[in-house]
């Protein structure tokens, strides 16, 4: 006991005890100072890296509008500064400083291993967090890739499972935006200008890759108002409206001549030939007459009669400069051959059997009807009263073809310049003037020209159609890109289902009328100025084999410019200026990448007096349109399972929808910006705000 009391009274022992008790505390405090001080140093380093990464990500996004590029740039900067990529995240957010402006937020989370500090706490690691926000400055001053302009209409409305995918641009409405459950909009920004925010009960509006949406209340101007390319394209309507059909060629004036009968009585025929200053010889083995007029410059004939079963070689050895004036009607039979020269037919020409004409100049005063196998060489052809083909095949060499309107109807429908009911081919390059229009009947095949130097001027038939296509017909027009034109006065009416229509490529397609199709259409490159409406499938129809592929409508490097002077009145196209309806799935329209109408696919009416719009109606699915689709005063309606697909990966393709209102139902729209607003720029200014 005394020993214990002495120990208590001994101050040296007390100091040892107190030292033992305080030593862990002193060690822990030293650890805190050392390790947490090191953490502050690391946090400062991480903050500097986050600032650099946010700045780099913002610069990348300003240049590319790509969140993938933004993230990659931020991570690259962080890894270069010693921060593992797994510890870095970069997201596009709304700026905490400026309303309606985007920013790039970069967060860095690293872990510091604790050693001495574990004396006071069992924590193994210390999390070190740094965050930086870089504001993108002014967002791109263009309104983006989908815009409903009219502030008095319903804006943008989705329904029926529709999805709008616009990961690199904005979706804007000058009124409401309605995104019900089951629909969605994914875009870098959504702008509205109604009293209430967009309706999205299931949070259907998101940013790219599921990020938070940037939704801003603001008015959005028309990006193409004042666009010089649009103005120039629309100005051409004055030229198109002034078009008029070419005049029909005049009938030839022929002097009266002697008749000649190529029959079985040799003496009579030979005497008639001698009266003409020619010689006729008979080959009984082949039942063939041969007429030889030598070097005569002019041969005047009345009526030429060819007996049944008799073959005729008509002046096949004559000079190409000889002029043959034939005042009466002529009907060929068996095998008939005409040599080269100039032929003036005052009466009707009807071919049968196998008939061959040499190269030359041909003037026809009355109806020409070809049947059997009929072949003309190259030359100049003037038909005062139309050309009609019956059964068989008819072929012309290259030349100039002027064909007036017939006195007879084509298939009981209307009088036209060219009525084809079989197979008719014109060589090329050739020039065509058909003031009374074309009717290519059901199942018939009609080929105009070859090469690239063809030219077309086509007027209206008796029913107002310049071009009428029957069901299952094939109509091919060779290109006019070198020096030719494509001018049509009247409607282009491809009303026959299963038909194939190949339209020539040329710089300007001028159509004073409407463009209607029920079959496959292959549009040649160029601008189509249609002073009316453009309707596909309003009365049914759809895809067919055309141009070597199974297509509905396909056109590359094409711009459609529509006046809306008239509107469709057929089926689901009724009341619209542009319509894709039943059966027209997988249409392809790609705007030119360069030139006067670069990136402009369809330009609707730009007059405030025309409020008719565009529709992709039932069945018109998977349309691939690349370019701006512009209806400033008309609605754009997509419904019934239809869809319009641009490209969010191919930088040469885009789809920019601009209408008075946009209603999407039961389809998909992949949109991207094509044409920026006049004078618009994208700011590259970036500033750290947090």
Q: Phi-psi category of 386—alpha, beta or left, where left has phi over 0 and alpha has psi -120 to 50?
A: left
Buried b (16+ CB within 10 A) or exposed e, 632-670: bbbbbbbbbbbbbbbebeeeebbbbbbbbbbbbbbbbbb
Nearest to 540 by CA among 441, 440, 620, 644: 620
Is the pLDDT assigned to residue 380 strictly greater than 60?
yes
Q: Give every CB contact of residue 338 below 8 A, 6+ residues apart in sequence.
A: 314, 315, 316, 355, 356, 357, 358
β-strand 544-546 against 549-551: which pairing, if any? Answer: antiparallel
Strand pairing report for 414-415 and 409-410: antiparallel
* Nearest-angstrom CA–CA distance, 235 and 258: 58
Other beta carbons less than 10 A from residue 490's beta carbon: 25
Look at 96-100, 378-382, 542-546 and tell me which has the smallest mean pLDDT.
96-100
Q: Which of 67, 70, 44 is nearest to 57 (CA)?
A: 70
d(CA 251, CA 344) in angstroms, rounded, equals 9
Check residues 375 and 548 and name the one with the higher pLDDT: 375
DSSP 116: G
Structure tokens at 656: 């920019």
**Contact, 37 vs 111, CB < 8 A?**
no
Give the containing element (helix H, strand E) for 274.
Answer: helix 266-275
Query: DSSP states of 152-163 as a string?
Result: TS--EEEETT-E
DSSP state of 318: S
Q: Are 247 and 435 in contact (CB under 8 A)?
A: yes
**Which of 9-18, 299-308, 375-384 bottoms out in mean pLDDT, i.e. has the lowest?**
9-18
As a whole number of angstroms, the distance between CA 381 and CA 362 comes to 5
For residue 341, give the nearest of 326, 330, 329 by alpha carbon.
326
List pLDDT tens digits, range 631-669. 999 999 987 665 666 655 666 788 899 999 999 887 777
Continuous segment of H or E residues that includes residue 487? strand 486-489
Q: At what angle do helices 2-9 and 11-31 cross, to 10 degrees?
A: 50
Total length of the chain: 690
Helix (H, G, I), strand (E, B) or coil at 677: coil
Region 356-366 average pLDDT: 97
| Choice between 426 and 45, residue whose per-residue pLDDT is larger | 426
Which pLDDT band, with edges at 50, 70 and 90, does 105 fall under? very high
More confident residue, 383 or 111: 383
Q: Count other Cβ atoms within 10 Å, centred on residue 627.
A: 27
**Percent of the chain clearing pLDDT 70 (strictly above):** 88
Contact 168/87 with Cβ under 8 angstroms? no
Q: Residue 5: is its pLDDT beyond 60? A: no
Nearest Cα neighbor of 469 from 541, 363, 397 is 541
Cα–Cα distance for residue pair 138/140, rounded to 1 Å: 6
Tell me what the mean pLDDT of segment 618-631 comes to. Answer: 81
Cβ atoms of 668 and 643 closer than 8 Å: yes
pLDDT at 639: 78
**Of 208, 188, 205, the residue nearest 197 (C-alpha):** 205
- CB atoms closer than 10 angstroms to residue 193: 18
CB-CB contact of 527 with 506 (8 Å): no
3-class secondary structure, 561: strand
**Residue 548 in tokens:** 């070597």
Nearest in space to 604 (alpha carbons), one of 571, 640, 560, 569: 560
- How far the first Cα of the chain sits from its last, in Å, is 70
- Three-state DSSP state, 419: strand
Q: Where is 500: in which H helix or E strand?
A: strand 500-502
Evaluate if residue 585 carries a pLDDT over 80: no
| pLDDT top residue among 12 and 241 | 241
Structure tokens at 120: 């006071």
Neighbours of 373 (CB within 10 A): 17
pLDDT the model gives residue 488: 98
pLDDT tens, position by position, 215-235: 989 899 999 999 999 999 999
The mean pLDDT value of the chain amounts to 88
Q: 92-106, 267-281, 314-328, 589-603: lowest mean pLDDT where? A: 92-106
pLDDT of the residue at 673: 84
Q: Which residue has the tokens 């875009």?
A: 187
Helix-then-strand count for the chain, H and E: 7, 59
Quick: pLDDT tens for 432-483: 999 999 999 999 999 999 999 999 999 999 999 999 999 999 999 999 998 8
The pLDDT score that the predictor gives to residue 620 is 60
C-alpha–C-alpha distance, residues 451 and 680, integer Å:
42
Question: For position 160, what pLDDT does the model report?
Answer: 86
Phi, psi at residue 539, to the nearest 5°? -115, 30
Q: Which segments of 10-98 does DSSP mark as H helices, in order?
A: 11-31, 37-64, 67-80
Please give the pLDDT value at position 642: 56
With CA atoms as reference, report the closest residue to 531 among 487, 501, 571, 570.
Answer: 487
Closest by CA to 378, choosing from 427, 449, 333, is: 427
Distance CA(543)–CA(336), nearest Å, equals 42
Greater confidence (62 vs 293) lies with: 293
pLDDT, one tens digit per residue, over 18-41 is: 555 555 555 555 555 556 666 677
Going by their DSSP bridges, the two strands 279-283 and 298-306 should be labelled as unpaired
Measured from the Cβ of residue 128, the count of other Cβ atoms closer than 10 Å reads 21
Q: How far apart are CA 109 and CA 126, in angstroms?
A: 10
Q: Is the dihedral of CA 552, 576, 607, 664 positive or negative?
A: negative
> What is the Cα–Cα distance from 128 to 190, expressed in whole angstroms?
35
Q: What is the Cα–Cα distance from 615 to 619, expressed in whole angstroms?
A: 11
Domain extents for the chain? 11-135, 146-239
DSSP 35: I
CB 190 within 8 A of CB 216: yes
> Could you say which DSSP state residue 669 is in?
E
- Give every CB contact of residue 17 below 8 A, 6+ residues apart in sequence: none
Q: Per-residue pLDDT for 244 more than 50?
A: yes
Using the structure block, give the residue that is written with the tokens 């030293």.
30
Q: What is the pLDDT of residue 19?
A: 54
In percent, the amount of the chain with pLDDT more than 90 equals 64
Instruction: Please name which of 637, 682, 680, 643 lies closest in space to residue 660, comparing C-alpha atoms.
Output: 637
The answer to whether 155 and 137 are in contact (CB under 8 A) is no
Q: Is residue 682 scored above 70 in pLDDT? A: no
């Amino acid at each position: 006991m005394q020993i214990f009391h002495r120990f208590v009274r001994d101050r040296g022992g007390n100091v040892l005890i107190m030292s033992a008790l305080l030593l862990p505390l002193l060690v822990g405090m030293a650890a805190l100072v050392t390790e947490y001080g090191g953490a502050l140093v690391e946090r400062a380093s991480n903050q500097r890296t986050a600032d650099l990464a946010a700045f780099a990500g913002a610069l990348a996004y300003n240049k590319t509008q790509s969140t993938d590029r933004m993230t990659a740039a931020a991570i690259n900067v962080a890894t270069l500064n010693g921060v593992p990529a797994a510890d870095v995240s970069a997201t596009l957010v709304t700026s905490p400083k400026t309303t309606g402006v985007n920013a790039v937020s970069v967060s860095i989370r690293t872990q510091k291993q604790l050693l001495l500090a574990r004396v006071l706490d069992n924590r193994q690691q210390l999390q070190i967090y740094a965050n930086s926000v870089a504001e993108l400055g002014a967002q791109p001053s263009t309104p983006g890739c989908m815009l409903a302009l009219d502030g008095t209409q319903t804006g943008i409305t989705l329904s029926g499972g529709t999805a709008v995918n616009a990961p690199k641009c904005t979706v804007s409405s000058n009124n409401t935006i309605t995104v019900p459950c089951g629909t969605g909009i994914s875009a870098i920004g959504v702008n509205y200008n109604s009293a209430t925010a967009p309706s999205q009960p299931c949070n259907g509006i998101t940013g790219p890759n599921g990020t938070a949406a940037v939704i801003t209340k603001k008015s959005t101007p028309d990006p193409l108002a004042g666009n010089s390319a649009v103005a120039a394209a629309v100005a051409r309507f004055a030229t198109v409206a002034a078009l008029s059909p070419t005049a029909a060629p005049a009938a030839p004036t022929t002097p009266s001549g002697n008749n000649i009968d190529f029959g079985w009585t040799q003496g009579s025929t030979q005497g008639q030939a001698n009266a003409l200053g020619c010689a006729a010889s008979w080959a009984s083995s082949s039942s063939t007459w041969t007429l030889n007029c030598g070097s005569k410059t002019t041969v005047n004939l009345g009526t030429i009669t060819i007996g049944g079963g008799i073959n005729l070689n008509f002046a096949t050895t004559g000079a190409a400069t000889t002029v043959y004036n034939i005042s009466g009607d002529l009907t060929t039979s068996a095998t008939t051959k005409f040599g080269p020269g100039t032929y003036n037919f005052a009466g009707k020409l009807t071919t049968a059997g196998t008939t061959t004409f040499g190269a030359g100049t041909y003037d026809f005063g009355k109806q020409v009807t070809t049947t059997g196998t009929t072949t003309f060489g190259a030359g100049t052809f003037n038909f005062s009263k139309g050309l009609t083909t019956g059964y068989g095949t008819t072929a012309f060499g290259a030349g100039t073809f002027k064909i007036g309107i017939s006195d007879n109807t084509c298939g009981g429908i209307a009088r036209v310049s060219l009525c084809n009911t079989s197979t008719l081919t014109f060589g090329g390059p050739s020039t065509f003037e058909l003031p009374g229009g074309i009717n290519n009947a059901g199942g018939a095949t009609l080929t105009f020209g070859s090469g690239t130097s063809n030219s077309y001027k086509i007027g209206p038939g008796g029913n107002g159609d310049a071009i009428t296509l029957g069901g299952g017909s094939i109509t091919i027009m060779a290109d006019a890109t070198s020096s030719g034109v494509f001018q049509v006065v009247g409607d282009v009416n491809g009303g026959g289902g299963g038909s194939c229509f190949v339209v020539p490529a040329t710089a300007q397609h001028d159509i004073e009328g409407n463009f209607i199709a029920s079959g496959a259409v292959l549009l040649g490159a160029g601008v189509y100025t249609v002073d009316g409406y453009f309707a596909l499938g309003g009365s049914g129809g759809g895809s067919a084999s055309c141009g070597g592929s199974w297509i509905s409508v396909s056109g590359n490097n094409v711009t459609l410019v529509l006046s809306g002077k008239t509107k469709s009145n057929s089926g689901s196209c009724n009341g619209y200026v542009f319509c894709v309806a039943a059966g027209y799935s997988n249409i392809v329209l790609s705007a030119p990448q360069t030139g006067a109408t670069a990136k402009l696919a369809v330009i609707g009416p730009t007059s405030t007096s025309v409020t008719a719009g565009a529709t992709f109606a039932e069945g018109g699915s998977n349309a691939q349109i690349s370019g701006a689709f512009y209806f400033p005063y008309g609605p754009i309606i997509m419904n019934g399972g239809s869809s319009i697909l641009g490209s969010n990966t191919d930088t040469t393709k885009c789809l920019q929808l601009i209408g008075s209102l946009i209603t999407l139902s039961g389809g998909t729209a992949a949109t991207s910006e094509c044409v920026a607003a006049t004078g618009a720029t994208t700011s590259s200014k970036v500033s750290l705000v947090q």
